[in-house]
Every structure is written in structure tokens, then in C-alpha cells.
């Protein structure tokens, strides 16, 4: 038998391997080939070559298995219609396209274990499923949509799975929107079934194109008593947006998600935001919810943002001194010879410091603190440096200012680290830290140096505005920590307010009881089958046939609330729980829910309030959060879909994001 001048050689008896049941041995000139009977691929058939390479081929030969014929034919058709090429890629000479490695085709099932063995012969390729998997990958990891148009990506996918039809950019965008719609419904259903209440954090973003965005995130303690958060909306604002527009966006978010009646508090990142925004929100939801404690618990401002703003005041006041220190450090590090002279000065002046001189990154103020901290220790060596520009020399007074403000920064660095590094930042952790700042500001204002005292007064005026809005929320959260209760409020208020401390403590106690009364009344009504929002009470005008509805209200206020308050008093009168580093406050309240059924319901909502909206990666950032450039050209609807769905999928996959920085993804870049 001859095939294209090739002679088929009858297999001698020594070719006993079962592998040869799948190959024909062909000789052409002086060369011998083994031709696969399934795919006609030619491999070496020399007697010296062995059969290992033949066995390897059979393991990956797709045509050896019984796959759907239509899929194979469509794959061949697509391969003929479009041939992929890429510059600067060279293959072995004479290599045919059919020789690309064809991987095992498997059907992905979420519940399958990683170590499960798949049966190749029963596997099935699903184009739609693969398309959605590609879209999920792009969403989850923040890849640009345009990556599907990249030649390198197309070559990789075709060689990996020839049956997959690479979809265009527009199709991927539609797939992302499809996934967003399905995942949004899941989140909506979950929030509607949530037993506790929801806190809304509002954070402003910008973009390289100077477009403003508002990101709204729900914070809550789930039915499993774990602190959770989900991005609900990412809205692009008009360039000339006003407070009216911002409040409208927030109200629309509450209405779209149907969580207005579940709202407990709104946290704004800018502590100086116009109060009218919160007032409009209160008015909008007033029909479904009373104002708790005169509305003070509804209006919360981000603690980390107010501290960052105070730090910027200190940086601006020390601006000239900072410029001189930066210039001096830059001069010392400019050459090896100058560094050698500097080391000599360090030895001569008897400085014993292990710190290294570093230049700061001005947009990250914690690096400025590190630069100042090291420079102050080498103060005497700086003064002895020869050839140092006189414009960079600091006076003794400037060195004292730098030393004092470095002490201020040290406190703020420590406190913001507490806020941002806590893996479960429940509201109770903020009160002692904020009170400590308050006490220090009072002390700094007493400085005999006019420069430092005036700076401290400016910082304290900004802090006092924040304190007036958030002190009650902070104190109530601390009281609900069984390790502290009212004792922590008494301890700090005596230092902050002095002779008027008792009056202030009574204000906190009254606010706590007022909130608790609201929860106790609501709990009683729910037990009676009235699914009323928190703080809502029955009215006699709702049903003219029942003349005693007013009596119901009177009965709840005089009887049930008194019983409930005694429950609160029981909690406060009992000894505090011992302090330890492994204490989990949410787990404590979960365990003690049978003992304090109403108080635990209140604790769940209060402790879930976000007292700060800054992440660990952006905690010391001087600028705001900025949308990355690959997202900017997209429509506002697509931007929202990608950012929200990324957040939801990441939570489902337990993927915290890149190890270096959560916001180093294409969702956050540093700007000044």
C-alpha cells in the first residue's frame, strides 16, 4: 500500500506494544513515521525512538475520543475562516497548527472539588458558560474590557481551547451587565430578608477627568452576627452637582434597594458636608421611621477623615520647615562623599540612632512623619554639615516646632492604624481613641508657644464640629461593649469636661434610654404581629373603628418600656466583662441574645455603624479615591456594574484582592 509515495510497512512481530494499535508505520525515503489513525498526525516511527512519545500523543489526541461532531466541525470552520497571527512569535519550522497542544476539555461545576478527577470522555464544552466565566474573571480582578481584543490574549485562548469563540469587547460588556443584574437581585433579596438594620456609608470619588462620583455602601451585622458590607451604587455626578443633587442620589439609592425603612444611620466621609443633606434624608424617610435620639444617631461622619483633615492643617502650618528638612535630607543622600561626612558628624556629636534618613512621599503623610522622626534625631549632625545651603538651615525655634508636630503626627498615625487595621471595625473601638485625641487637643492648646497654640486651636475647632455630631453615637457604641459600659464614658468625660462632666454623662444616658425605649416598643409591636419599622407607633387615625389604638400606645410607653428599661439597667448594673485581646464583641452579643433580647437587637445595629469609611491602604492618603483611567471611558451604567459586581463576587470568593493593595486594582490610584 502506498500513500503519496509513502510505503506502509507491515509491523514485524517485535512491535508488540498496544500503542501500535493506534498507529500505521510508514516509510518515506530513509525515514520512518508513525501516523495516528485518529488524526493522521505524523510522529517519529524509528525503532530507536521508542513509544513514549506515541503514548503521550494518544493521551492528548482529541479525535481519539467521542466528542460532539458538530463542535469539531464548527471549530474547523472557524479555524479556516480566521487565522491568528502575532508578530515576533516563532514556532519550530514545519510545525502544523494541528500540533498545538490541545488541553483536556472539562465542564466547570462550582461545587466540584479541586482534587476531583474529571472523565474526559463525558466532558462537554459550553460556549455560553465560558463567555460568562471570562466576564466574571474580568469583573473580579478588575481587568480592562479591551483585553479580549488583544492579540496575545486571542492566541493564548485559541491554543488553550480551540472550541472557544473569542467574543468582542461589546459582547463582554453585555455579559458583565448580565452578571450584574443577576448578582444585584441576589443582594436585594438578601437585604430584604435581613433581620437587623442597615447603615449607609457615602464616599466621594473623583477621576482623572475631574468627574465626581459617589459610592454608597451598606454596612450591617448579618444574621450570623458577622460584620458585613456591600457596595450598592456607584453613581456619576454632574460636574455642577449641588447638595440637593447629592441628597437626591442617596435617597434614590434607598428607594431602589427598598431599604429606607431599614436605615439606621448614614455615614458621610466629609465631616463638613452640609447638614441639609442629612435633613433631607430624614424628611424623606420620616413616614417610615422616627428620628432616633432627635436624629443624632442618624448623622455620622467618618472619624479617619476628620483626623486626616486635622493632619493637613498641621502639614500646612509646618510647610516651610518641611521644605527645609526635605532639602537637607536630599542633600545628605545626594552623594557617597556627603553621606560619609554626615556619618562623621553623627559620630562626633554622639548621636546613637539606628533610624535611616528617608525622603517622604508628600501625598502620604505617614511617610512625612517617618522623615521628621528620623531628621529630629540627627538634628545636631545636620547643624554641623559643611557646605549646607544656608536656606536649608533650620533655626532652633523651627526645630522645636518640628519636634512638637512630629509628636502630634505620631498620635494620629497610631490611632488611624487602629481604625484601618482592625479586621472587624465595630463601632465600639472608636470612642476611646477619639476621646484621647480630644484630651490631647485640649492639652496642646495650652502650649506657651503662640505658633503651636494657635495651630492646636485651629485643629480643635475642626474636631469640635465633628464631636458635636458624633459624640453620642461613639458613646452609645462604647457602652454596648460589656468590657466598658458606662464606666468608660465616665472616665473620659471627667477628663474632657471637668466640672460639667455629670451633665454630659446624663445626656448620654438619656440618649441611650431613649433609643432603647424605641427598640422595646418596636419589639413588642412585632411580637403582636405588627410589622412596623423601628420607631413607628400605631395611630388612632389609621382605623376609626378601633377607638383604643391610642390606649395601645399609652400602654406600651408606660408598661412595656418600663420593663424593657429594667433590662437595660440589668446590663449596666452587672460587672464589666474582663478585658482581653481576643474578645469578640459580636460573638458576645450573639451568645447573650437570650438574656438581653431587645438590647442585643439594638447592639447589633449600633455596632454595625461605620464610624470610619477609610481602608487601610488609603488611610494616610492626602487625596481622595480616584477612579482608574481604564474605567473612565465606560458609560456610568457600566462603571457601576463593574465596581458593584466586583465587590459582590470578591466577597463570595473570599478573595481580599491583590496582596499589595486592595485599591491598587484599577479602582484606586494615588493623586495629590
H-type alpha helices, 260-395 = 275-285, 303-317, 319-332, 336-348, 365-377, 379-383
pLDDT score of 42: 86
pLDDT score of 64: 58
pLDDT score of 371: 94
- Average pLDDT on 290-300 reads 60
Distance CA 93, CA 123 (A): 33
Distance CA 148, CA 125 (A): 20
Q: For residue range 574-617, list pLDDT tens digits in order.
A: 999 998 778 999 999 999 999 999 999 999 999 999 998 877 66
CA angle 174, 651, 256 (to 5 degrees): 60
CA distance to 38, 94, 376, 427, per residue, from 60 (Å): 12, 20, 68, 58
Architecture of domain 176-302+613-649: 2-Layer Sandwich (3.30)
Q: Which residues contact 90 (CB under 8 A, 6 or more apart)?
A: none
Smallest Cα–Cα separation from 262: which of 301, 229, 220? 220
Q: For residue range 169-225, list pLDDT tens digits in order.
A: 899 999 999 999 999 999 999 999 999 999 999 988 888 777 888 999 999 999 999
Q: For residue range 134-182, list pLDDT tens digits in order.
A: 999 999 999 999 999 999 999 999 888 888 988 898 999 999 999 999 9
Distance CA 482, CA 409 (A): 31
Query: Which helix H or strand E contains 42, and what residues bound it?
Result: strand 42-44
Asked whether the predicted pLDDT for residue 627 surpasses 90, the reply is no
- Would you say 175 and 132 are in contact if contact means Cβ atoms under 8 Å apart? yes
Give the three-class secondary structure for 102.
coil
Measured in residues, the chain has a length of 672
Whether this prediction's pTM lies above 0.85 is answered by no
| Domain boundaries, given as residue ranges, for the chain | 18-65, 176-302+613-649, 426-525+582-612
Smallest Cα–Cα separation from 341: which of 333, 350, 351, 353? 333
Long-range contacts of residues 130-134, Cβ cutoff 8 Å, at least 24 apart: 130/161, 130/164, 131/167, 131/171, 131/172, 131/175, 132/175, 132/178, 132/179, 133/108, 134/167, 134/172, 134/175
Q: Pick the residue with more confidence: 552 or 437? A: 437
Write out the three cell numbers for 95: 510545525
Q: For residue range 308-329, list pLDDT tens digits in order.
A: 999 999 999 999 999 999 999 9
Amino acid at each position: 500500500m502506498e500513500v503519496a509515495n509513502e510505503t506502509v510497512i507491515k509491523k514485524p512481530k517485535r512491535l508488540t506494544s498496544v500503542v501500535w494499535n493506534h498507529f500505521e508505520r510508514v516509510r518515506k525515503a530513509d525515514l520512518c513515521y508513525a501516523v495516528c489513525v485518529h488524526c493522521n498526525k505524523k510522529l517519529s516511527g524509528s525503532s530507536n525512538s521508542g513509544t513514549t512519545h506515541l503514548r503521550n500523543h494518544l493521551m492528548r489526541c482529541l479525535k481519539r475520543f467521542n466528542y460532539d461532531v458538530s463542535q469539531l466541525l464548527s471549530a474547523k470552520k472557524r479555524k479556516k475562516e480566521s487565522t491568528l497571527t502575532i508578530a515576533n512569535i516563532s514556532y519550530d519550522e514545519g510545525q502544523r497548527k494541528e500540533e498545538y497542544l490541545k488541553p483536556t476539555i472539562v465542564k466547570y461545576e462550582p461545587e466540584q472539588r479541586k482534587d476531583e478527577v474529571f472523565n474526559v470522555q463525558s466532558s462537554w464544552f459550553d460556549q455560553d458558560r465560558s463567555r460568562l466565566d471570562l466576564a466574571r474573571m474580568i469583573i473580579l480582578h478588575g481587568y480592562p474590557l479591551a483585553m479580549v481584543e488583544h492579540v496575545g490574549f486571542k492566541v493564548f485562548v485559541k491554543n488553550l481551547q480551540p472550541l472557544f469563540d473569542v467574543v468582542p469587547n461589546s459582547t463582554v460588556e453585555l455579559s458583565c451587565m448580565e452578571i450584574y443584574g443577576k448578582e444585584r437581585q441576589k443582594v436585594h433579596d438578601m437585604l430584604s430578608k435581613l433581620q437587623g438594620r442597615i447603615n449607609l456609608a457615602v464616599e466621594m470619588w473623583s477621576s482623572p477627568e475631574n468627574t465626581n462620583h459617589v459610592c454608597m455602601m451598606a454596612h450591617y451585622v448579618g444574621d450570623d452576627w458577622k460584620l458585613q458590607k456591600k457596595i450598592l451604587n456607584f453613581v456619576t455626578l454632574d460636574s455642577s452637582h449641588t447638595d440637593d443633587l447629592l441628597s437626591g442620589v442617596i435617597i434614590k439609592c434607598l428607594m431602589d434597594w427598598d431599604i429606607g425603612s431599614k436605615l439606621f444611620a448614614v455615614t458621610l466621609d466629609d465631616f463638613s458636608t452640609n447638614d441639609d443633606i442629612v435633613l433631607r434624608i430624614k424628611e424623606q424617610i420620616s413616614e417610615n421611621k422616627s428620628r432616633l435620639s432627635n436624629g443624632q444617631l442618624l448623622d455620622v461622619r467618618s472619624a479617619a477623615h476628620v483626623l486626616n483633615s486635622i493632619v493637613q492643617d498641621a502639614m500646612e502650618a509646618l510647610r516651610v520647615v518641611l521644605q527645609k528638612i526635605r532639602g537637607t535630607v536630599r542633600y545628605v543622600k545626594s552623594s557617597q562623599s556627603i553621606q560619609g561626612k554626615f556619618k562623621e558628624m553623627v559620630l562626633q556629636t554622639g548621636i546613637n540612632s539606628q533610624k535611616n534618613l528617608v525622603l517622604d512621599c508628600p501625598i502620604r503623610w505617614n511617610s512625612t512623619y517617618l522623615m521628621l522622626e528620623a531628621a529630629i534625631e540627627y538634628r545636631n549632625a545636620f547643624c554641623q554639615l559643611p557646605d549646607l545651603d544656608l536656606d536649608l538651615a533650620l533655626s532652633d525655634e523651627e526645630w522645636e516646632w518640628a519636634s512638637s508636630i512630629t509628636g502630634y503626627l505620631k498620635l494620629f498615625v497610631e490611632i488611624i492604624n487602629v481604625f484601618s487595621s482592625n479586621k472587624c471595625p465595630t463601632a465600639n473601638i472608636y470612642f476611646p481613641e477619639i476621646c484621647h485625641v480630644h484630651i490631647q487637643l485640649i492639652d496642646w492648646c495650652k502650649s506657651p508657644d503662640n505658633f503651636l497654640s494657635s495651630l492646636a486651636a485651629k485643629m480643635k475647632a475642626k474636631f469640635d464640629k465633628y464631636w458635636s455630631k458624633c459624640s453620642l453615637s461613639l458613646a452609645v457604641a462604647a457602652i454596648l461593649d460589656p468590657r466598658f459600659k458606662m464606666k468608660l464614658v465616665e472616665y473620659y468625660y471627667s477628663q474632657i469636661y471637668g466640672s460639667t462632666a455629670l451633665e454630659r454623662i446624663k445626656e448620654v444616658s438619656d440618649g441611650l434610654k431613649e433609643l432603647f425605649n424605641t427598640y422595646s416598643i418596636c419589639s413588642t409591636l412585632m411580637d403582636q404581629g405588627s410589622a412596623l419599622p423601628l420607631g413607628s407607633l400605631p395611630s388612632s387615625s389609621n382605623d376609626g373603628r378601633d377607638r383604643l389604638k391610642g390606649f395601645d400606645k399609652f400602654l406600651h410607653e408606660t408598661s412595656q418600656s418600663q420593663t424593657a428599661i429594667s433590662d437595660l439597667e440589668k446590663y449596666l448594673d452587672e460587672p464589666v466583662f474582663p478585658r482581653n485581646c481576643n474578645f469578640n464583641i459580636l460573638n458576645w452579643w450573639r451568645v447573650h441574645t437570650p438574656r438581653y433580647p431587645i438590647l442585643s437587637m439594638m447592639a447589633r445595629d449600633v455596632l454595625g455603624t461605620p464610624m470610619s469609611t477609610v481602608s487601610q491602604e488609603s488611610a494616610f492618603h492626602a487625596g481622595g479615591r480616584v477612579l482608574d483611567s481604564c474605567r473612565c471611558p465606560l458609560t456610568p451604567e457600566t462603571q457601576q456594574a463593574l465596581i458593584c459586581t466586583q465587590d459582590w463576587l470578591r466577597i463570595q470568593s473570599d478573595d481580599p484582592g491583590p496582596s499589595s493593595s486592595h485599591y491598587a486594582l484599577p479602582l484606586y490610584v494615588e493623586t495629590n
